Amino acid sequence: MVNANVLSADADQWSWWRKLLFRFCCIYLILYTAPWTWLSDVPVLQLIGEYYSKIENWLVNLTNTYIFHVKDVLVPLNGSGDTSYGYAQICLFVLLAVTGTLFWTIFDKRRNYNTAYYWLLILVRYYVAIMALSYGIIKLFGQQMIFPSLSALATPLGDLLPMRFSWYFVGYSTSYQFFSGAVEMVAGLLLLFRRTSTLGGFVAAGVFLNVMMMNLCYDIPVKLFSIHLFAFSNFLLLGDAKRLLNFFIFNRPTQPSSQFTLQKKWMRTGQVVLKIAFVTLFLVKPLYGSYQNTMGSNGGSALKKLATGFFTVDQFQGNVVDSLRWKDVIFETNNSGSIQTADTLFRQRYRRGYFSYSLDSLNHTVAFKKFATDTAALFTMQYSMPDTNHIVLRGKIRNDSSIVALKRQNRHFQLAERQFHWLSEANR
């Protein structure tokens, strides 16, 4: 078990270095995992998370200004833990942990931290379980990495950044992504129960080692977070280090782990209730939500689409420089697409301009937007379709009258065929 040899008698005397290491790890782990923010979806508890975030943000910026100097103006996390704010945040946690360890050492003279270690392991175990389950669930439903879109397939391989390349690598294979999610789910489920927590720590360490290496080798901007998850998974195994070394390395007999049991009935009842609540909030609810999203995207009411496919530009009339002229246009299966153009009016990525659009079939107009959530359009054009293979757009782009004639091309992408061969002799 995770809590194997750390819960011996209260008379057990810890060495001084073990006490120091525990004090530092305890403060740092609590700061990083921030358990008071886990239930931020609950209306009352949401206020705690909000006020904590404000205080933390103030401290991070304050210490960065006067001590760390990571960057003059910190870039917020924005879904990535590798921004300048993320590094300044880690520096703050280390500073607080070192300072807290110093004061803790001065005023606390107890012989050991067996009970505190037990509860710290539970905290880390459930934190790793939350992360493993959350990432596993979205992978099970193919919602983290998506299959390459038509625009991605039309982008030269050499133009892709390493992260985007790795994302398409995983998203290309639904079965591989499902397998990855299933393994993360197994790790999370094993960590929920004390009897299987050591095995869960092994599985989680293997899973997050792979994630960490992908992030490091493909420049995926979640390096700090994945390193922490890998370290936390190994932290869960430290309590059993001697037993594991005896079994796997030294070929020696090992004793069963000691069990920390709650003596009072109300504590045991509370433990069961809390575990049920945890499973409901972090397993059942996310599973149901992901299922609903999948069903909604597959069977929901489709928006009106202009077309789907790859179109070359047969004619482009407009007073623009050559670099801004449209070379080809791709309409995706949803109301979005991309244009081969350097025009920064669109979202530029890999030398293509990405857009969203809304269609008014009554007035035969199409409104081009930068983002789907934008209320104002970049420009609106009249459209006509002589047949299913031709589209003509007329309107003003940057107040300049333009006419764009599009012709459908039967563009063939072998990668989109999801090829698989048991007998592999010519599929190179």
Q: Does one domain contain both 184 and 75?
A: yes
Q: Does the residue 334 lie in any domain?
A: yes
Predicted confidence at residue 183, as pLDDT, reads 97
Which residues form the domain of 320? 309-413
Residue 414 phi/psi, 5-degree rounding, is -65, -30
Position of tokens 């403060």?
Answer: 27
- In whole angstroms, what is the distance from residue 294 CA to residue 290 CA? 6
Does any domain span residue 273? no
Quick one: pLDDT at residue 262?
A: 67
pLDDT attached to residue 420: 81
CA-CA distances (angstroms) from residue 321 to 122, 324, 342? 63, 6, 10
Residue 271 backbone class (left: φ over 0; alpha: ψ -120 to 50; beta: rest): alpha
pLDDT at 4: 42
Report in angstroms the alpha-carbon separations of 74 from 31, 95, 210, 223: 20, 18, 29, 18
**Same domain assignment for residues 246 and 387:** no
Using CA atoms, how far residue 3 sits from 32, 112, 267, 414, in Å, is 21, 15, 18, 52
Q: Which residues of the chain have pLDDT under 50?
A: 1-10, 300-301
Residues 73 and 197 grouped into a single domain: yes
Same domain, 149 and 227: yes
Residues 108 and 184 in one domain: yes
Q: Are residues 244 and 164 in the same domain?
A: yes
In this prediction, residue 280 carries a pLDDT of 87
Radius of gyration of the chain (CA): 28
* pLDDT for 171: 94
pLDDT for position 426: 73
Claim to verify: residue 41 and residue 181 sit in the same structural domain:
yes
The pLDDT value given to residue 107: 93
* Domain presence at residue 298: no
Whether residue 305 contacts residue 359, with contact meaning beta carbons closer than 8 Å, is answered with yes
Give how many domains the chain has, as a whole number.
2
Note the pTM of the prediction, 2 decimals: 0.89
The predicted pLDDT at position 69 comes to 96
Residue 10 maps to a domain: no
CATH number at residue 349: 2.40.128.20
Q: What is the pLDDT of residue 259?
A: 66
Nearest Cα to 127, choosing from 204, 60, 47? Answer: 204
Structure tokens at 178: 């499902």
